[in-house]
Structure 1
Amino acid sequence: MTPPATPPARTRVNGPYTVVELAGEIDLATAGSVADHLDAATASAAVDVLVDLRGVEFFDCSGLRVLCRAQDRAVRGGGRLRIVCDQPYLRRLLGATGLLGRFPPLASLPDGLPDRTP
């Protein structure tokens, strides 16, 4: 079951992909809502989750923790979790925390996927 859209997160399924779109500030105050969406997205086996961070303005360690936990869960279930990110500051954050290798960002969604929901 997909959680309802909340200010920082919305989930949509398109073909084999589950896209979790994040926007605004991802911090201690919003990490719980993000975790709800990522928990739902990684609940099944062999999922292919794309976390779209292109609408994020701020991202702290609370968001990184939630991403790491969701990726672990996806991999344990035989799936994967990838991020879509075009902001240099998020790439620097991933690099500074040693997570760039774990989350090599895609610049855009895979071909054929609509860019963002309205």
Structure 2
Amino acid sequence: MRPNPQGAGRLNVQTERLQEQCLVRLTGEIDLGTVPIVYEAVHACLDSRPSLVIISLVKVSFCDCAGLRALLQARQEIVRAGAECRMHGPLQPPVASLLAHTSTTASLGVHGYDLGNGPPRRPPAT
């Protein structure tokens, strides 16, 4: 994988193949300069024809509108390729705020957190 020189160091990507699944761990900032790195990681995963692509956003510290657009397009490409796409949190506050203000949490299919309330809580024992 060749990182974009402008985005090198601001976004790190780790991909892991787990049977029929592909896990993409994003760490850092997703912005105009790092968007090509996101696309490259997703396309590399799709080359192996997984049934499920999981994109971890847990360590994404910043995402601007270009990054949001990249995540939305990545999800569309994954679904078009016939795979399920799951994006996982909990999200860092700047990313959660962007998704809240743009009403895109459901569109992205983010799992693993309750917007504004942090990680999901277990129901009290009865």
Instruction: Normalising by structure 2, report the TM-score.
Output: 0.71
Q: Is the 8 A contact 1:11 1:18 kept in 2?
A: yes
Q: Aligned pair count?
A: 106
1:66 matched to 2:59? The reply is no
Matched, 1:11 2:15: yes
2:44 aligns with one of 37, 40, 43: 40
Structure 2 unmatched ranges of 5 or more: 114-126
Which stretches in structure 1 are left out of the alignment for 5+ residues? 109-118
Could you say which residue in structure 2 is the equivalent of 1:31?
A: 35
Q: Secondary structure at the match of 2:106?
A: coil
**Equivalence for 2:123:** none
**What's the % identity of the aligned pairs?**
29
Answer yes or no: is the 8 Å Cα contact 1:50–1:83 preserved in 2. yes
Q: How many angstroms apart in 2 are the aligned matches of 1:43 and 1:70?
A: 14
**Cα contact 2:35–2:70 (8 A) shared by 1:** yes
Which residue in 2 is equivalent to 1:93? 98
Could you tell me whether the CA contact under 8 Å between 1:44 and 1:77 is conserved in 2?
no
Change beyond 3 A, Cα 1:56–1:14 = same
Higher Rg of the two aligned structures: 2
Kept after mapping to 2: 8 A contact 1:18/1:50 = yes
Task: Name the SS of the counterpart of 1:11 in structure 2.
Answer: strand
| 8 A Cα contact 1:4 1:10, kept in partner | no
Match of 1:82 in 2: 86
Query: 2:32–2:66: 8 Å Cα contact kept in structure 1?
Result: yes
